[in-house]
Amino acid sequence: MASETESSTGYEIVIGLEVHAQVLTASKMFCGCPAVYADTHPNSSTCPVCLGLPGALPVMNAAAVELVLATGLALGCSIPDYSKQDRKSYFYPDLPKGYQISQYDLPLCVDGNLHFLSGGEERVAGISRVHIEEDTGRLLHRSTDTGTEESLVDLNRSGVPLMEIVGEPDLRSPEEARDYLEALRQLLRYVGASTGNMEEGAFRCDANVSVRRKGDAGLGAKAEIKNLNSFRAVQRALKFEEQRQSQALDAGRPILQETRGWVEDRGVTVGQRTKEHAHDYRYFPEPDLPPLKVDEATVATIRSALPELPLARRRRFVEVYRLSESEAALLTTEQPIADTFETAVGSNPTPERARAAANWIINDLAGISAQRGTPADTLPITAHQLRELLDMIDSHQITVRAAKELVVALEPDESPRDGAVRLSLLVLDDRSAIVEAVEAVMVAFPEAVQDYRRGKQAAIGRLIGETMKRTGGRASPDVVRKELQAALASDCAETRV
Ligand SMILES: [Zn+2]
């Protein structure tokens, strides 16, 4: 019997995702042209190889192969000792050669899986393969001044290295698909294999989706959804497809195996073409590139250089630093932030130190970065600055309040100690100045003084706050409290006498 939380339609959605990620290399897959194409003049980063001119010969980019291997290993794939490149033939104006170099039957990495969290639980989805391919150029469609339509070709992207990560149809809800994608992107960023930037097209997703009656083991006819440009688009498009296909089956209409495009502003998918089959592309081995032989030593070297992966690091943060699940998740989202945290707390930190560093990063520093619009993997201060700042707070050289002022104004290479001196933010250890402020506050707020003396202990909070204000937040709150308590008690005594 279906549970209440599942779709009431009696159908189950089956999703497999194919991700194309741009491999983070300096040059293209088969030539020396720069692989960065944003903000470059159209067709300026090109050469005979990536323009597909007759007689130009491709040469494999070793760095791209290593990054794809690293990704495959991080995904637990096996690395066959032999793989090859193939030509995938089709015509499109952004593909000057008339074929794309890809991998067909012998990919670089096979049979892996992705561990990820969804709905608070660990899931595992199969990865059938990770293979290398080259990107195509781009078409720009626009209207001219005279009102006619024109299409322009830019080949700066032609030949940029891509990897295709093909997932098994193991995902069972749009939410799970989104969690899988976010985890995959995070893993790619940890490995350093891709920026995973979706807006810039460095991380693109196609979704294969079908529905079947709950309890059925076979797979229904699937639609391949394209043009999914954000995590949100993926989730919305899958929800739409789940409904569309379920309704079609209920009405007795067959599901076509086809390619459909997601139309963001209308929130629908529309049929584009009936889906091609692999044999339509006339794949055949690329004669201009030798097969790739990956030996065990190379695999071992790349494997040993892999970083601790996001899920493992997140678990370790909970266990070692006693952080909550959500704190650990936030701190490990971006590898540089997790590194900053660990450098700032040092080895064998106390739980208090770990909590303080976590709070500073999550609540204060990430907030400043967001305000400034800097990338999510950067913080306004370095790990060493944070470490020194925490030391200063622990040894009462600066108050938390003054420290918050300091982090906003700290220069990139400045030590927090120097910054605090420059900005006069060190703790006020001049007792007479604090006593003076306390006396002034007691005169200025007689009601609070009276309340306290009548036994309303909480009234001292107001007086502490006002005294802190008068010292520019630089007096230690503990010292202020002691001085206030002393002053209130002795005044009492005097009055009684
Ligand atoms: Zn080139």
How far does residue 27's CA lie from ligand 1's centre (Å)?
Answer: 9
Mean pLDDT, range 7-28, rounded to an integer: 91
Contact predicate 420/406, CB 8 Å? yes
How far does residue 287's CA lie from ligand 1's centre (Å)?
Answer: 19
How far does residue 447's CA lie from ligand 1's centre (Å)?
Answer: 79
Q: How does strand 223-228 pair with strand 258-263?
A: parallel
Identify residue 313 by its one-letter amino acid code.
Answer: R
Q: How far is C-alpha 203 from the geometric centre of its chain's CA atoms?
A: 11
Contact predicate 386/398, CB 8 Å? no
Which uninterrupted H or E stretch holds 178?
helix 174-191
| Residue 480: partners with Cβ closer than 8 Å, 6 or more residues away | 434, 437, 438, 464, 467, 468, 471
How far does residue 132's CA lie from ligand 1's centre (Å)?
Answer: 17
How far does residue 282's CA lie from ligand 1's centre (Å)?
Answer: 25
Alpha helices (runs of H) in 360-454, residue ranges in sequence order: 366-372, 383-394, 400-409, 416-422, 431-444, 446-453
State the pLDDT at residue 491.
Answer: 58
Q: Is the pLDDT of residue 46 over 60?
A: yes
How far does residue 298's CA lie from ligand 1's centre (Å)?
Answer: 27
How far does residue 79's CA lie from ligand 1's centre (Å)?
Answer: 28
Tally the residues of the chain: 497
Which uninterrupted H or E stretch holds 13?
strand 11-22
Contact predicate 299/327, CB 8 Å? no
State the pLDDT at residue 4.
Answer: 39
Contact predicate 81/294, CB 8 Å? yes
How far does residue 69's CA lie from ligand 1's centre (Å)?
Answer: 23
Supply the pTM of this predicted model: 0.86
How far does residue 31's CA lie from ligand 1's centre (Å)?
Answer: 5
Q: Residues 429-487: pLDDT tens digits? A: 788 888 889 999 999 999 999 999 888 988 899 999 999 888 888 888 888 898 898 88
Q: Residues 391-442: pLDDT tens digits? A: 999 988 998 989 999 999 999 889 999 999 999 888 887 888 888 899 999 9
How far does residue 157's CA lie from ligand 1's centre (Å)?
Answer: 9
Q: Is the pLDDT of residue 12 over 80?
A: yes
How far does residue 138's CA lie from ligand 1's centre (Å)?
Answer: 15
How far does residue 26's CA lie from ligand 1's centre (Å)?
Answer: 12
Alpha helices (runs of H) in 324-375, residue ranges in sequence order: 325-332, 335-345, 351-359, 366-372
How far does residue 278's CA lie from ligand 1's centre (Å)?
Answer: 28
At residue 1 the predicted structure's pLDDT band, cuts being 50, 70 and 90, is very low
State the pLDDT at residue 270.
Answer: 94
Contact predicate 403/476, CB 8 Å? no
Q: How far is C-alpha 73 from the geometric centre of its chain's CA atoms?
A: 20
Identify residue 396 by its one-letter amino acid code.
Answer: H
State the pLDDT at residue 432.
Answer: 83
In angstroms, rounded to a whole number, what is the distance separating the alpha carbons of residues 405 and 393? 13
State the pLDDT at residue 406.
Answer: 95
List the single range of 4-13, 207-216, 378-387 with lowest mean pLDDT.
Answer: 4-13
Which uninterrupted H or E stretch holds 260?
strand 258-263
How far does residue 291's CA lie from ligand 1's centre (Å)?
Answer: 21
State the pLDDT at residue 492.
Answer: 54
Contact predicate 244/269, CB 8 Å? yes
State the pLDDT at residue 8.
Answer: 52
In angstroms, rounded to a whole number, what is the distance separating the alpha carbons of residues 384 and 367? 19
How far does residue 44's CA lie from ligand 1's centre (Å)?
Answer: 10
Which uninterrupted H or E stretch holds 308?
none
Share of the chain above pLDDT 90, in %: 76
Q: Residues 58-84: pLDDT tens digits? A: 999 999 999 999 999 999 999 999 999
Q: Cα separations (Å) of 66 from 36, 84, 117, 192, 445?
A: 19, 15, 27, 11, 70
Sign, CA dihedral 312-316-318-321, equals: negative
How far does residue 40's CA lie from ligand 1's centre (Å)?
Answer: 14
How far does residue 42's CA lie from ligand 1's centre (Å)?
Answer: 13
Q: Cα separations (Å) of 378 from 91, 200, 334, 366?
A: 43, 19, 9, 8
Burial class for 472, CB neighbours closer than 10 Å (0-12, 13-18, 19+): middle
How far does residue 201's CA lie from ligand 1's centre (Å)?
Answer: 19
How far does residue 161's CA lie from ligand 1's centre (Å)?
Answer: 11
Q: Residues 326-343: pLDDT tens digits? A: 999 999 999 999 999 999
Q: Is the pLDDT of residue 9 over 80?
A: no
How far does residue 54's CA lie from ligand 1's centre (Å)?
Answer: 13
State the pLDDT at residue 227.
Answer: 83
- The two structure tokens encoding residue 298: 């190379």
State the pLDDT at residue 3.
Answer: 42
State the pLDDT at residue 5.
Answer: 41
Contact predicate 25/61, CB 8 Å? yes
Angle between helix axes 431-444 and 446-453 (nearest 10 degrees) is 90
How far does residue 485's CA lie from ligand 1's centre (Å)?
Answer: 76
How far does residue 288's CA lie from ligand 1's centre (Å)?
Answer: 16
Contact predicate 274/260, CB 8 Å? no
Q: How does strand 223-228 pair with strand 86-89?
A: unpaired
In angstroms, rounded to a whole number, what is the distance separating the alpha carbons of residues 293 and 139? 35
How far does residue 29's CA lie from ligand 1's centre (Å)?
Answer: 9
CA-based end-to-end distance of the chain: 82
In angstroms, rounded to a whole number, what is the distance separating the alpha carbons of residues 381 and 366? 10
How far does residue 49's CA lie from ligand 1's centre (Å)?
Answer: 5
How far does residue 306's CA lie from ligand 1's centre (Å)?
Answer: 30
- The two structure tokens encoding residue 193: 């294999």
436, 439, 444, 445 alpha-carbon torsion, rounded to 10°: 140
> 3-class DSSP state for residue 119?
coil
Summary mean pLDDT of the chain: 92
State the pLDDT at residue 6.
Answer: 44
How far does residue 30's CA lie from ligand 1's centre (Å)?
Answer: 7
| Residue 22: partners with Cβ closer than 8 Å, 6 or more residues away | 35, 135, 160, 161, 162, 194, 195, 201, 202, 203
Q: Which residues of 101-115 are buried (b: 16+ CB within 10 A; e: fewer)?
A: bbbbebbbbbebbbb
In angstroms, rounded to a whole number, what is the distance separating the alpha carbons of residues 289 and 57? 9
Q: Which residues of 294-306 are buried (b: 16+ CB within 10 A; e: fewer)?
A: beeeebeebeeee
How far does residue 140's CA lie from ligand 1's centre (Å)?
Answer: 20
How far does residue 58's CA lie from ligand 1's centre (Å)?
Answer: 9
How far does residue 25's CA lie from ligand 1's centre (Å)?
Answer: 14
- The two structure tokens encoding residue 237: 């498009």
